[in-house]
Amino acid sequence: MTQIVSCGGREFRDMFAVGISWLEKSIDDVNAINVFPVPDGDTGTNMFLTMRSLMEEADRALDQSVSEVAKAMAHGALMGARGNSGVILSQIFRGMAKKLEGKEKINSVDWAQSLAEASRVAYKGLSKPVEGTILTVMKDIATTAEKVAVQHPNDMVQVMEACHQTAKESVAKTPLLLPVLREAGVVDAGGQGLCILFEGMLKYLKGEVEEMQYSKPKVIAAAVGPSEAHKVGPLSAEEEVPYGYCTNFLIEGTRLSAEKIKARLDGKGESLVVVGDEGTIRVHIHTYDPGSILRYATALGTLHQIQIQNMDDQHVGFLEMQKEKKPKIDTAIIAIAAGDGMKEVFNSLGVSFVISGGQTMNPSVRDIVQAVETIDSDKVIVLPNNKNIILTASQVQELVSKKVAVIPTRTVPQGVAALLAFNYEATLEENVATMTDAIARVKTVEITNAVRSTQINGLKIGEGQAIAIIDDENLVAAGDDATDILYQGLDKADIKSAEIITIYYGGDATAEQAEKVANELHAKFPDKQIEVVNGGQPHYSYTVSLE
């Protein structure tokens, strides 16, 4: 076995380059084990495109020390990060670069320490890290690397062989940690991609690059098969929560503490925002009992600009009011959408910039940064409109000098609802709170076709079948008739409690089919307002908004 005593910047870069080439061979295989069988920007694709951006930046590094190459990689990964898996990868490289700072060359111990820091930073980057994912695999790799490096400080091959073996075992066990994987009988796609990357890097260190031309990685089988024990019932309709009172005021005093006030008011309502300094604090909260909030505040100092609004009354006629307003824009809004009709919807509601993207292709961090920089405003709100873009959009906040807020919209209807809640006269913080609130008051039902056979939520799904997904998260129905599946999805989303129904048609659905659906729904629910819009969204026959 070839003993690798140390690794310089050139070898470090080439090691990852070979790993990425190995991953490229498995893009379709990694995509195929995604739990949700939807035509989205899949894990394998997102990981590869993120890594490709990483390598482009590494190739431009003038200094060939490990430190500078790793630093360039981290920047490239962040700017090119696509989807959740890409963002997590970028955090892994951020931690790695941090630990390798100042290193001309590295040995096994340096490498192991960088992996440990990579794991720590990746976990820290997520507000709610989930085990049984790429995070777990990275953590297990780092733990093994540190143990083996102590015994073999000058043998990178020995350490990497142990890392790859641990990665395979960790990936195989991901279904034991994540019930949705166990039910589908697949391993975590992100963890699988990371394992393949490490395998390719190991082959480089062992001098087996030539042999790689005539083979490809193998996908790891789950340690358990599809389980019938874990059944997830259909989504129950969330009980509608009244708006309550939107309460705003300023406190003037001495030695005020925003953190203490926030801690005291936490749990007293929703959409709490507390900002300011020792002399002045602004408070915003949605509460059913504004009196108790004000009594507490008066004990702290003098109150000014007190505003209490009944949000149920405020919501009436809001759409018409927004259309009539034409004030100077202080805060710009960026939305991400696919389909000419969907883009037109956002443009008509005052969005400053629409980025093409969503299903089938997630925009990169760089794409969003460029859009933010293009807009002539120092304050920007981003509507991702896809769960796989939220983390990507969140990375932009640290890369630009402008103040950027990301509203975690997972679907286009959520984006529209958030946009309608935007108030030109409110502060950025107040708008973020109000728009985030608005998301919870809309449900989305999407109809597409399964791109692979799988099992999820107790449903056995065949390739090509129509599937219904609620809020971009819960797959609730599958079958051969798209219209029938649409009705099943609407029932499970509790269409009876909705007042406004908007049908965006796209994919292979025609205007005539959409109108027929609307007419049948109107006959069944004559009291509801039903609207049909040509969304033009690819792959999804129907995207229905229930408000």
Residue 11 inside a domain? The answer is yes
333, β-bridge pairs: 381
- pLDDT value of residue 308: 80
Residue 222 inside a domain? The answer is no
Long-range CB contacts for residues 219-222, cutoff 8 Å, separation at least 24: 219/26, 219/29, 219/30, 219/32, 219/33, 219/187, 219/192, 220/168, 220/171, 220/172, 220/187, 220/192, 220/195, 221/172, 221/187, 222/172, 222/174, 222/175, 222/181, 222/182, 222/185, 222/186, 222/187
Encoded amino acid at 438, one letter: A
Residue 518 inside a domain? The answer is yes
Q: What's the start-to-end Cα distance of the chain, in Å? A: 64
Same domain for 104 and 60:
yes
- pLDDT value of residue 40: 52
Domain boundary at 316, 334, 364, which? Answer: 316
Residue 221 inside a domain? The answer is no
Same domain for 310 and 276:
yes
403, β-bridge pairs: 379
**Phi, psi dihedral angles at 68 (to 5 degrees):** -70, -35
Same domain for 472 and 405:
no
Residue 220 inside a domain? The answer is no
Whole-Å CA distances, 89 to 27, 84, 365, 409: 16, 9, 13, 22
Residue 54 inside a domain? The answer is yes
Same domain for 455 and 433:
no
Q: Which residue has the tokens 């509801």?
A: 528
The CATH number of residue 78's host domain is: 1.25.40.340
Cα 91 from chain centre: 14
Same domain for 450 and 338:
no
- pLDDT value of residue 36: 61
- pLDDT value of residue 223: 64
Residue 231 inside a domain? The answer is no
- pLDDT value of residue 423: 87
Same domain for 387 and 303:
no
d(CA 192, CA 187): 7
Same domain for 70 and 36:
yes
Residue 524 inside a domain? The answer is yes
Same domain for 193 and 80:
yes
The CATH number of residue 296's host domain is: 3.30.70
Read off the pLDDT of residues 356-410 as tens digits, 9 standing for 90 and up: 887 767 899 999 999 999 888 899 999 999 988 999 999 999 899 999 999 999 9
Domain boundary at 413, 441, 469, which? Answer: 441
Same domain for 373 and 291:
no
Domain boundary at 414, 441, 468, which? Answer: 441
d(CA 441, CA 546): 9
- pLDDT value of residue 237: 29
What proportions of the chain, in percent to the nearest 5, are helix, strand and coil? 50, 20, 35
The CATH number of residue 453's host domain is: 3.30.1180
Walk along the chain (547 residues) in steps of 10 and give the mean pLDDT of each run.
70 94 92 68 84 92 91 88 81 93 94 96 80 94 96 91 94 88 84 95 90 84 52 31 66 88 84 71 79 90 80 47 48 92 87 84 90 90 93 92 95 93 89 94 93 86 92 91 93 92 92 93 91 90 93
Segments forming the whole domain that contains residue 288: 240-316
Question: Residue 519: CB partners within 8 Å, gap ≥ 6?
Answer: none
Same domain for 292 and 267:
yes
- Strands 542-546, 454-456: pairing is unpaired
- pLDDT value of residue 230: 37
Same domain for 353 and 291:
no
**Phi, psi dihedral angles at 185 (to 5 degrees):** 75, 30
- pLDDT value of residue 35: 66
- pLDDT value of residue 323: 42
Same domain for 184 and 93:
yes
- pLDDT value of residue 75: 87
Q: Are 284 and 247 in contact (CB under 8 A)?
A: yes
Quote the number of domains for the chain: 4
Q: Coil, strand, or helix at residue 226?
A: coil
The CATH number of residue 407's host domain is: 3.40.50.510
- pLDDT value of residue 329: 63
Question: Residue 39: CB partners within 8 Å, gap ≥ 6?
Answer: 359, 360, 448, 449, 451, 539
